[in-house]
Amino acid sequence: MLNRKSFLQLSSLGLGSLYFSKLSAATSGGFKPIVISTWAEGINANKAAWDILKNKGRSLDAVEAGVMVTEASQNCCVGLGANPDRDGFVTLDACIMDEHGNCGSVGAIERIKHPISVARRVMEKTPHVMLVGEGAQKFALAEGFPLEPQKLSDDAERSYKEWLKKSEYKPVINIENSGQGHGPFAPSHLDNGDLNHDTIGMVALDAMGNVSGSCTTSGMGFKMRGRLGDSPIIGAGLFVDNEVGAATATGLGEEVIKICGTHLVVELMRQGYKPEDACKKAVERIVKKDYAKAKENQVGFIAINKKGEYGGFCLQKGFNFAVCYGDTTNFLVDAKHYF
Ligand code: SD4
């Protein structure tokens, strides 16, 4: 049996997912579940998802429960503790997609702790895919979600006051190796590499061989009021096709939207590309469109296919993702990068 160290060695040779797919094929009949998610916060989120997957639960339940951990965490920029928009309001975006291609999404929702669960209700209880702003909040309240206080966390309050001094609007996001954290938006207390992200995206394969995904974010700190990124947009921040696999994205959402990033990754997998190669091709598309902009920004994709193979790729060094397929097999992988 492969231990974590030797797995990581295989991984660095690009053989980790190959080993894993053989393992999947070897499990008689059913599929061997796997969940992957963006950034280091994904480790804790994966644990919650794995608890469901290992008991033969549905991948949709796993990806919802997984990212709820991150939404509720006070140590993370996802959720109500995150940085506000320019006008001082925390606005959250999320979307979810199941194995049947059903999907739901909320954009710019305020004072609701678990936007991912509201997105799921939009999917399951309305004839629509997206609800935004006041309407999304109204729907959440009607569904029994509590209205949280209109209050910034202490950290966000401090960062917002700091940002107001210059009010500089220059979206640079998630470039950890630049030493700027979130660039000009970096809250000093979070400028430590692992905690300076606004988003978690998660995709999972369950024991029945079904794939689902979720994505939830506070968006870009100090964004224009009303700005939506890629995270609540199906085909941009998240896409699932149960014939092929699933992908999710993080980083500067505008660049992901312009190439319909996760839809592209899934379509590339349909054409036969392995998850990492499909993510790489999507990153290359971003670079090809605008080299100068790509060089200044971060975008990362992660993906799984129906065989349980996984992979990720990003623009800049510094993006990692968490991979889990066992009670004690939950580890971070540094994504390969273009620049
Ligand atoms: C957005 N993609 O709103 C998100 C931001 C992000 O870690 O991924 N931050 O554009």
Instruction: Give 10-residue mean pLDDT values along the chain (339 residues).
Output: 43 45 44 96 97 98 98 84 94 98 98 98 98 98 97 91 83 48 36 61 98 96 94 98 98 96 98 98 97 94 98 96 97 97
250 is a catalytic site residue = no
The rounded distance, in Å, linking the Cα atoms of 50 and 53 is 5
Q: Which atom of ligand 1 lies closest to the CA of 197?
A: 7
Catalytic pick among 38, 91, 199, 250:
199
The answer as to whether 7 is a domain residue is no
The best mutation among 38, 41, 252 to test binding of ligand 1, ranked by most ligand atoms within 8 Å of the C-beta, falls on 252
The answer as to whether 30 is a domain residue is no
The answer as to whether 46 is a domain residue is yes
Q: What is the CATH number of the domain that holds 205?
A: 3.60.20.30
Ligand 1 centroid from CA 291, angstroms: 20
Ligand 1 centroid from CA 14, angstroms: 27
The answer as to whether 175 is a domain residue is yes
The answer as to whether 99 is a domain residue is yes
Q: Does 176 contact ligand 1 (Cβ within 6 A)?
A: no
The rounded distance, in Å, linking the Cα atoms of 96 and 177 is 30
CB neighbours of residue 134 within 10 Å: 11
CB neighbours of residue 186 within 10 Å: 22
- The model carries a pTM of 0.88
The answer as to whether 96 is a domain residue is yes
Q: What's residue 74's pLDDT? A: 72
Residue span of the structural domain in which 137 resides: 36-337
Ligand 1 centroid from CA 173, angstroms: 8
Helix residue ranges per DSSP H, the chain? 4-12, 16-26, 42-53, 59-72, 115-125, 133-142, 154-166, 253-258, 261-270, 275-289, 291-296
Ligand 1 centroid from CA 211, angstroms: 23
CB neighbours of residue 21 within 10 Å: 17
Q: What's residue 7's pLDDT? A: 45
Q: Answer yes or no: are the C-beta atoms of 281 and 324 closer than 8 Å.
A: no
Q: What's residue 168's pLDDT? A: 74
Q: What's residue 171's pLDDT? A: 59
Q: What's residue 172's pLDDT? A: 56
Number of domain units in the chain: 1
Q: Does 229 contact ligand 1 (Cβ within 6 A)?
A: yes
The answer as to whether 226 is a domain residue is yes
The answer as to whether 255 is a domain residue is yes
Q: Does 198 contact ligand 1 (Cβ within 6 A)?
A: yes
Residue 206 structure tokens: 């369950």
